[in-house]
Amino acid sequence: MVQQLTDPSVGLTSFQQALGDGEISPVRCKLDPDLYVLVDEPAGTPRFTYARIEEDGTVTAIAILAIVEPMEGLPCFQLGYAVPEQYRNQGRAKKVVKAALAEHQHGFANANVHTFYVEAVVGADNPISQAVAAATISDQPEAGSDKFAEVPVLQYVRKFEPAGG
């Protein structure tokens, strides 16, 4: 069986289904009133799913931040993002990621966590996701191989620090 990278669009589909079934209740974000967040703990690990949700309940973009191994002793969140096919090529991924990162930094600063890392691991064969990661995380990715799927990837890393830090 060929392993594949985790596909955030699977999470988007599950999120949309759970939202439609009334199983989840994302809350409105503080900085961006058009962004919602759901915090859950699959397998005991905190995950933050930020979503753009239309009035009719349609999810038009998500950004997911899940805690992974610390980096340089600091918390690290792995970023995934997805946009339903009918909403692609409109800049929605970049916008939801930028808004989610701002909300995440704001929320963690309020919890007295001022410095953390965000990483995005993107398939080397996915230029659209690479463009989103380059625009929102870092324009200097490191090439490598995913340790689970064993496929070529690019790793984008950004350190978030307090203003002036």
**Section 125-134 average pLDDT:** 96
Task: Read off the pLDDT band of 2 (50, 70, 90).
Answer: very low
Cα–Cα distances in angstroms (integers) from residue 115 to residues 44, 69, 110, in the given order: 23, 15, 12
Query: What domains are there in the chain, each with its CATH number?
Result: 8-160 (3.40.630.30)
Q: Tell me the pLDDT tens digit for each residue of 8-35.
A: 999 999 999 999 999 999 999 999 999 9
- Find, among 110, 109, 131, the residue nearest to 122 by Cα: 131
Q: Tell me the pLDDT tens digit for each residue of 63-113.
A: 999 999 999 999 999 999 999 999 999 999 999 999 999 999 999 888 888
In this prediction, residue 4 carries a pLDDT of: 62
- What pTM did the predictor assign? 0.93
